[in-house]
Amino acid sequence: QYDNDGALHAKLIEDVLERYPDKTAKRRKKHLGVARSGEAPGEDGAVVSECEVKSNIKSIPGVMTIRGCAYAGSKGVVWGPVKDMVHISHGPVGCGHYSWSQRRNYYVGTTGIDTFGTMQFTSDFQEKDIVFGGDKKLERIIDEIEGLFPLNNGMTVQSECPIGLIGDDTEAVSRKKAKEHDKTIVPVRCEGFRGVSQSLGHHIANDAIRDWVFDKKEIAFEAGAYDVNVIGDYNIGGDAWASRILLEEIGLRVVGNWSGDATLAEIERAPKARLNLIHCYRSMNYICRHMEEKYGIAWMEYNFFGPSQIEASLRKIARHFGPEIEARTEAVIARYRPLVDAVIAKYRPRLEGNTVMLYVGGLRPRHVVTAYEDLGMVIVGTGYEFAHNDDYQRTGHYVRNGTLIYDDVTGYELEKFIEGVRPNLVGSGIKEKYPVQKMGIPFRQMHSWDYSGPYHGYDGFAIFARDLDLAINNPVWDLFDAPWRERPRRRAIAAE
């Protein structure tokens, strides 16, 4: 069923492009491709494929794109999970309302007292605020929040589109109020119109940490030799918790985890750590590069999806700290081996050979590939909403020859690709879920883990495997087929 040499995939791209007007076809052609195996071995000996397509440029007006905006990248992704701060959605009510609790970044704490992650704060702009400016209103809101929630450890002002257009001075308001209340108040210029996707929002949010948090206060913190920051694990469905256990077991001290279940204090003390471990390269590489330049902290990418990557990552991290940590790491890997073996023994026979197409944001379309492969599944197509060139280069370490690659895929293209490939599973977002299921194809949400998770770490792998089995081997899928086409394998697995 899958296309080893990519000839079918190349033909699918041609067919899709044929339906576009010439100009559009020419532009979209550069974003679609077929991965080609190269010679050079990549990191950790993996074969590198060539899967570079054009990326990180404006979507074409008139097509359905799945991307978000800069506000989403800052308020939703980077700042939102900093739980002890109040994040004000500054502008009209919709942005805050529709992004309210949409990302499953778990936290512990008492909501409304010392944590605010599932609450929504908005300045609810009206026409008069657009006409006369909203700075006064922002001042009043900051005072109100301070009165109602005195245990907040700070605030951020997440600017929505109109703020930048009308020229409000949120920086001046933030400075003034920070002084008055003796709190950190961070203005973030993440107006949705900036950039071409949520990606610029990540960058702006990283820069706000650099400019408004680092080196602003004396930090009383006793640093240790094994201190690490986990950067870019947002604790979706508890991912960061499942990861932290492993890092602590190998002997490291996680002094910051941002922004998953994060506090402002963790961000403030980050420059005192020994190593930055970066899970989501796309959204947080900026601040890691900055900390390297300014404070001399090394950074290292790692991947905690599926046992092969977990093992390779743990070993790579351990090498940085020397023989003692390396020995502990081998013991940890050995201790989890029976769990991994049991998961694979149970689920691999039920999942082996199934093909998968992915379409997610900026990291997962490559980071999860090996987790599927650990269960015997095959990724036949993958693509990103907002990846940059360096992400596509890294994708080459993961995908095999012939894999269909699609950047900022349009609704039309994705539907045609899925129809043409007919994979056994599609992993993407909520907007894609129901159309795909209506095509008779099993689906898992790869942003929210479909309300499950965690998927990181060894504990997460067991849940991931179970969820794939539930999705793919659900007997409901046989009801889509005419009786003469029934799928005996799935029947047998379901009956079992």
Is 363 a binding residue for ligand ICS by CB under 6 A? The answer is yes
Query: Order of strands, edge to edge, in the sheet holding 184-188?
Result: 121-122, 86-90, 154-159, 184-188
Residue 395, token pair as written in the block: 């994708």
Is 77 a binding residue for ligand ICS by CB under 6 A? The answer is yes
Q: Looking at beta carbons, which residue is closest to ligand ICS?
A: 361
The residue (of 105 and 184) whose beta carbon lies closer to ligand ICS is: 105
CB of 363 to ligand ICS, least distance (A): 4
Q: Which of 208, 280, 357, 463 binds ligand ICS (CB under 6 A)?
A: 280
The residue (of 99 and 152) whose beta carbon lies closer to ligand ICS is: 99
HEC assignment per residue over 392-404: HHHHCCCCCCCCE
The residue (of 74 and 152) whose beta carbon lies closer to ligand ICS is: 74
Is 402 a binding residue for ligand ICS by CB under 6 A? The answer is no
How far is CA 311 from each of CA 140, 161, 314, 462, rounded to the nearest angstrom?
52, 44, 5, 15
Is 466 a binding residue for ligand ICS by CB under 6 A? The answer is no
Burial (CB count within 10 angstroms: exposed 0-12, middle 13-18, buried 19+), residue 495: exposed
Binders of ligand ICS among residues 54 to 73 (CB under 6 A) are: 73
Active site residues: 69, 72, 103, 202
Residue 369, token pair as written in the block: 């590939």
Is 12 a binding residue for ligand ICS by CB under 6 A? The answer is no
CB of 460 to ligand ICS, least distance (A): 13
* Cβ pair 167, 131 in contact under 8 A: no
Give the CA diameter of the chain: 75
Contacts by residues 417-420 (CB-CB < 8 Å, ≥ 24 positions apart): 417/12, 417/16, 417/357, 417/381, 418/357, 420/8, 420/12, 420/15
The residue (of 80 and 423) whose beta carbon lies closer to ligand ICS is: 80
* Closest to 233 measured CA to CA, from 104, 360, 63: 104
Phi-psi label, residue 370: left if phi above 0, alpha if psi -120 to 50, beta otherwise: alpha
Is 103 a binding residue for ligand ICS by CB under 6 A? The answer is yes
Is 198 a binding residue for ligand ICS by CB under 6 A? The answer is yes
End-to-end CA distance of the chain: give it in Å, rounded: 25
| Contact string 418-447 vs ligand ICS (x = CB under 6 A) | -----------------------------x
How far is CA 110 from each of CA 99, 114, 119, 151, 264, rounded to the nearest angstrom?
21, 6, 11, 11, 16
HEC assignment per residue over 367-386: HCHHHHHHCCCEEEEECECC
Q: Give the interface segment with ligand ICS, choosing from 117-125, 163-171, 280-288, 303-311 (CB under 6 A).
A: 280-288
| Contact string 153-192 vs ligand ICS (x = CB under 6 A) | ----------------------------------------
The residue (of 280 and 351) whose beta carbon lies closer to ligand ICS is: 280
CB of 434 to ligand ICS, least distance (A): 18
The residue (of 77 and 85) whose beta carbon lies closer to ligand ICS is: 77
Binders of ligand ICS among residues 124 to 143 (CB under 6 A) are: none
Q: Which residues are near ligand ICS by CB under 6 A?
A: 73, 77, 103, 198, 234, 236, 280, 282-283, 360-364, 447
